[in-house]
Amino acid sequence: MATLPTYFDGFLKDVRPTKNQRDDLKTGHTTLRTRLRADDGLSAVYVSDFLQGSYRRSTVVRPKGDSRSDVDIIVVTRMDKNEYAPEVAMGAFVPFLEKFYKDKWDWQGRSFGIELSYVKLDLVITAAPSEVQQGILSTKAVTTDEGLDEALDWRLVKGWVPVEERSLLRFADSITLQKSLTEPEWKVEPLWIPDRDAHRWDETHPLAQIAWTRDKNKNCSGYYLGTVQALKWWRRSFDAPKYPKGYPVEHLIGVCCPNGISSVAEGVVLSLEAMVREGAFYVATGTVPVLPDHGVPSHNVMGRVSAEDFAAFYKHVEGAATIAREAYDEPDTAQSALRWRDLFGNKFPEPPTQKGGFSPRDSVSTPLGSRFA
């Protein structure tokens, strides 16, 4: 099998956010979070904040064309959902936004969008959790800005410390950290976010999604994150219906990618083939699979996808699965690389033999990071 680890390493490097884009993301969310924590007008309702989404899960790929990178920030508040209507709770943040982001923010159905010249921020507020949960949501395990590719041992426990802070730990704190890596994780409850358009509060559980992704990556020997990034890039490479995209596609990859894969190439092939195999019934019956959210099972992540859109997406998956299998089974490294380029485009490295050189090695390299229902 042609796993082409060196080629995939180069490909993934070129589809992940650049250093400048990562720096912009960090500057954007760090500035926003610092302002939230220090704002006198929000001090009565503010509890904590943390990152969510593909940036936090380390499944993000660089934006296409002139688009800007984006990052999602959750703000935990003390506002009781039984006492505050969604629009009233969100309204409490308007003075803050006018103060720091005048003419750069806008209302969204369940969040605020902030568009800067270099980055897009999605600010999501939540209703008050229990006092016990408030304590958990204020710990470094939750508020860290390190992604899963940076903090391979991340766990929802009190003693966990971000990797960048560990060189400053005292000996006793280092022992506490080591113990925290084996103790049971907290049972974190879902949070409630406002839906201003529907006039209701909805459950969400981003921390469960992060923990699920971490566990899946471990079960895939560290190759899952790269598999998701590769297939997200593929999804961006063709004109398709609006849905599914973003997290629904990532979730679909997660339930289709088998545990125990030994390369990104294998993860891509087997995930696509599982989508074809399991999706055939839904296309034939004009329906859409129900995929329960990892944190809130009552939420179907494919709920916004129509049968027509799913069928159109499925046709692209069928073609991609065929190309991926041919690339994977091709014994000649150069020919295999060219077939992978047919799938992923020119971000996938061209074999040097096509330009008069020698093909790079085809050997094992270190992965990033260590079915339908």
pLDDT in tens, 15-49: 999 999 999 999 999 999 999 999 999 999 999 99
Rounded to whole angstroms, the Cα distance separating 264 from 270 reads 10
For residue 49, indicate whether it is catalytic: no
Rounded to whole angstroms, the Cα distance separating 13 from 253 reads 20
Give pLDDT, residue 370: 41
Angle (CA) 295-87-249 rounded to 5° is 35
Query: What percentage of residues in the chain have a pLDDT greater than 70?
Result: 94
Pick the catalytic residue: 9, 49, 122, 149?
A: 122
Closest listed residue to residue 156, CA positions, set 121, 134, 187: 187
Tell me whether strands 120-126 and 191-195 are parallel, antiparallel or unpaired.
unpaired
Pick the catalytic residue: 70, 145, 293, 309?
A: 70
Pick the catalytic residue: 49, 72, 145, 309?
A: 72
Give pLDDT, residue 237: 83
For residue 24, indicate whether it is catalytic: no
Task: Map out the domains of the chain as residue ranges.
Answer: 5-137+188-355
For residue 72, indicate whether it is catalytic: yes
User: What are the strands of the beta sheet with 120-126, ordered from one edge?
Assistant: 46-52, 70-77, 120-126, 112-115, 105-107
Using the predicted structure, report yes or no on whether residue 57 has a pLDDT greater than 70.
yes
At 114, the pLDDT band (50, 70, 90 cuts) reads very high
Angle (CA) 73-24-15 rounded to 5° is 95
- The reported pTM is 0.92
DSSP SS3 for 112: strand
Domain 5-137+188-355 class, CATH top level:
alpha beta
Q: Copy the structure tokens of residue 102.
A: 């005048």
